[in-house]
Amino acid sequence: MAQLYYKYGTMNSGKTIEILKVAHNYEEQGKPVVIMTSALDTRDGYGIVSSRIGMRREAIAITNEMDVFEYVKALPEKPYCVLIDECQFLTKKHVYDLARVVDDLDVPVMAFGLKNDFQNELFEGSKYLLLLADKIDEIKTICQFCSKKATMVLRTENGKPVYEGNQIQIGGNETYIPVCRKHYFNPMISKEK
């Protein structure tokens, strides 16, 4: 029986590596998968799933207008699994589409992404995945400043913490740091401008 999985973690927790590993394991057995990612994340190109250690792969870019359910339904071959990267950027409709892929097409969906933003608020996609997912798992990593579990993302600009601004600002290690609660509120970097 297919299920909707939501696997979340902070930056640098290995979410994309997990997607690529799962895809490889299915495909090595001759089982096709569909890899999708948000069209908003263009750090390494449009429709590219890319890990910080250099692994990358083409993916279907999910735009705001895309009907994910109809896309998967129209595929010439039913996939064994749908894998989603950067799921925090999905809309409520996209998440409901993913639930329909599971329920109506009997195709498992594994969605990977951040849970909360740099202001410690839920992303839209994360909120609805928390509400609809059959299974929710945390992919853990450690705080950049100590050995505690990282549960938050600290945005930086020119090496200084930023706590206000637009929710979505695409970036990597140069912009975001995985941190524990203590170091989110008291990072070991200068707050002066």
User: Residues with catalytic annotation?
Assistant: 86
Tell me how far apart the alpha carbons of residues 143 and 76 are, in angstroms, rounded to a whole number: 44
> What are the backbone dihedrals phi and psi of residue 190, each rounded to the nearest 5 degrees, phi first?
-70, 140
Q: Which residues contact 15 (CB under 8 A, 6 or more apart)?
A: 7, 8, 9, 85, 112, 113, 139
Assign 96 to helix, strand or coil.
helix
Q: To which residue do tokens 């640098």 refer? A: 12
Residue 183 half-sphere exposure toward CB, CA atoms < 13 A: 22
